[in-house]
């Protein structure tokens, strides 16, 4: 919650209107710090208990409904989470949509909401309760491939010979910063620190996977195959 306040209610939010690099820090804070920490905190049960008793019962009945369970499993499946998050990242960084977000506050709000919601779905598919019942390989594959394609996007922005987002030319120049250098810094933020954040997530998954050990069936079969004492 503190990272969300930092991203949305601090001078960083004001600075993001003038610097693309600050805007990138804001987005990365939401998607790579706030979202995974919220998922790891398992806040849904606590939030439900914060509701009045009647509302809490209605929410409980709705959540236990088979239709909702099927929809939730589909939404938080590894492939669904991966596709939604990737579509939000690549789509909103297309110059047309990014420029629209800078020009219209409601589009900017939609951009932030889609970044945050798809990041929550992605990290839930990696760290959520359903992920704990699946092999860690699914989660590691999701994190690794997301690290690759976000690094590619960051590299494209950082190494672009021209400006992708002309709306930043005037405010960035007014601050005495070259607009292309600012764009390169923003791309590097997505490329390097972003990749490190996904790498940390992958290491956490690997540690959990190794700690869980092999399934019990893998150990019981050889033992069952041994002859009893004294048998020849």
Quote the pLDDT of residue 134.
55
**Residue for token pair 């020009």:** 103
Quote the pLDDT of residue 26.
96
Q: Is residue 227 part of a domain?
A: no
Quote the pLDDT of residue 220.
42
Q: Is residue 92 part of a domain?
A: yes
Quote the pLDDT of residue 129.
65
Count up the domains in the chain and report the number.
1
Q: Is residue 226 part of a domain?
A: no
Q: Is residue 69 part of a domain?
A: no
Q: Chunk the chain into consecutive blocks of 10 residues (it has 232) and report each block's average pLDDT, rounded to whole numbers.
A: 93 93 96 93 82 87 85 88 95 95 94 96 84 66 93 95 93 93 95 92 82 53 45 46
Quote the pLDDT of residue 63.
81
- pLDDT tens-place string over residues 53-83: 888 888 888 888 888 888 888 888 889 999 9
Quote the pLDDT of residue 209.
76
Quote the pLDDT of residue 221.
43
Q: Which domain holds residue 101?
A: 2-49+77-212
The secondary structure of residue 50, as a DSSP letter, is: T
Quote the pLDDT of residue 230.
47
Q: Give 205-213's long-range contacts (Cβ < 8 A, gap of 24+).
A: 205/126, 205/127, 205/136, 205/139, 205/140, 205/143, 206/136, 206/140, 208/136, 209/135, 209/136, 209/137, 209/140, 212/136
């Amino acid at each position: 919650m503190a990272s969300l306040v930092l991203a949305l209610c601090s001078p960083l939010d004001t600075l993001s209107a003038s610097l693309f690099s600050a805007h990138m820090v804001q987005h990365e804070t939401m998607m790579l710090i706030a979202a995974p920490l919220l998922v790891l905190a398992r806040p849904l049960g606590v939030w439900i208990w914060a509701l009045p008793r009647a509302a809490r019962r209605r929410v409980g009945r709705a959540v236990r409904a088979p239709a909702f369970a099927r929809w939730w499993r589909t939404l938080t499946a590894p492939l669904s989470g991966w596709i939604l998050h990737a579509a939000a990242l690549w789509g909103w960084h297309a110059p047309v949509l990014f420029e629209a977000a800078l020009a219209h506050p409601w589009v900017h709000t939609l951009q932030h909401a889609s970044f945050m919601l798809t990041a929550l779905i992605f990290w839930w598919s990696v760290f959520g309760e359903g992920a704990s019942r699946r092999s860690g390989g699914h989660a590691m594959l999701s994190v690794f491939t997301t690290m690759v394609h976000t690094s590619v996007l960051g590299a494209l922005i950082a190494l672009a010979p021209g400006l992708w987002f002309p709306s930043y030319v005037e405010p960035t120049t007014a601050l005495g910063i070259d607009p292309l250098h600012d764009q390169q810094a923003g791309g590097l933020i997505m490329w390097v620190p972003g990749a490190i954040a996904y790498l940390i997530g992958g290491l956490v998954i690997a540690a959990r996977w190794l700690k869980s050990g092999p399934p019990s069936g893998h150990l019981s079969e050889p033992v069952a195959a041994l002859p009893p004492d004294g048998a020849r």
